[in-house]
Amino acid sequence: MKRKKIIIILIFFIFLLVFRYVLVKPAFNYLAGYLSKSDQVKSNILVVEGWLPEYDLEMAYNEYIKNGYDYVVTTGLKYSSEYYLLYMNGYLIFYSGDKVKSLDNSEHHLIEVNAYSELGGRHSAHFNFYVNNLKVADFYAEKRKQLYPVSWVGSLNDIDSLMVQFNNDNIGSFGDVNLYVKEIIIDHKIKIPFQNNSVYDIGALAHRKRVINNFTSYAELAKDRLLSMGIASSRIISIPCNKVKINRTLTSALAFRDWLKTANIDVKGINIMSMGTHARRTWMTYNKILEEKYNIGIISLPDYGIGQSRNRKHLKTLREAVAIVYYWFILLPY
């Protein structure tokens, strides 16, 4: 009897292994390949979705250089994040301007950095803090949002800049080391948010890769990053759209369609850059919205999914499969 139970258990586990690796895994691989397939066309307009990560934006830049597009169009929703993402080593430089002159000009001051790390433990983001190019403190940021205090002696009128240097960017199976910064607070009275008060020098100070943080949408953010890579401003057009919780791809496509109606551009073809399994839905949406008036291609960029488990990747694939069915049968025939 005991031997029979053991045989049944072994058969059950063999069935699970066969089901997972012979049936489920190939099915997900096929589905992921279908959803992320590229189909590039000859075109003079390159559309780049503004939410793409930095490594994909670099590929967008290379695509622009390689194939000589007339225009790069960035799309994306209104930007609403409280914290600024430092995704590569570099300097987030805050300019205090006249903001500190209204404070009591004593000699002792408390300066606090509102920040957090994407990862914790030995993979926490590290940053140095500078006042007027002078390093005054350094921290390992924690995953929870908090203030990092610095005591500083001197006149506030003498401060030209406050800098956060992120200097241990790394990526691997453990995830992606990133730093998020919201604002700098002086003496509990003055808050200097990153938005409209800072620039991000990627790599070295005064480097050619400088992002000016005066954007209000992901479309403008992607434009700024592509500008910092060297694309001429006359070649990049950003098309922001209203922030929505659902149907974001559709909202971006509609904004692009409305812009195209008024743009005085001879469209020879459109290639759209998206990421991974999201590419198929993006391609389908633009074809539907533009009523197949143009030759439209899709370029699916890598979704490295650093630190993601196999189950999470499968979940993303399944979510995109459900979303494309929803778009095709319910949303787009309106």
List the domains of the chain with CATH numbers. 43-79+216-331 (3.40.50.620), 84-202 (2.60.60)
Render pLDDT for 239-273 as a digit per residue (tens, 0 to 9).
Answer: 999 888 888 999 999 999 999 999 989 999 999 99
Identify the pLDDT of residue 63.
Answer: 96
Q: pTM of this prediction?
A: 0.77
Identify the pLDDT of residue 105.
Answer: 64
Q: How many CB atoms lie within 10 A of CB 237?
A: 19
Identify the pLDDT of residue 310.
Answer: 61
- Comparing C-alpha atoms, which of 68, 324, 2, 305 is closest to residue 173? 305
Burial of 31 by CB count in 10 Å (0-12 exposed, 13-18 middle, 19+ buried)?
A: middle
Residues of the chain predicted below pLDDT 50: 2, 5-7, 9-10, 12-23
- Comparing C-alpha atoms, which of 165, 117, 166 is closest to residue 145? 117
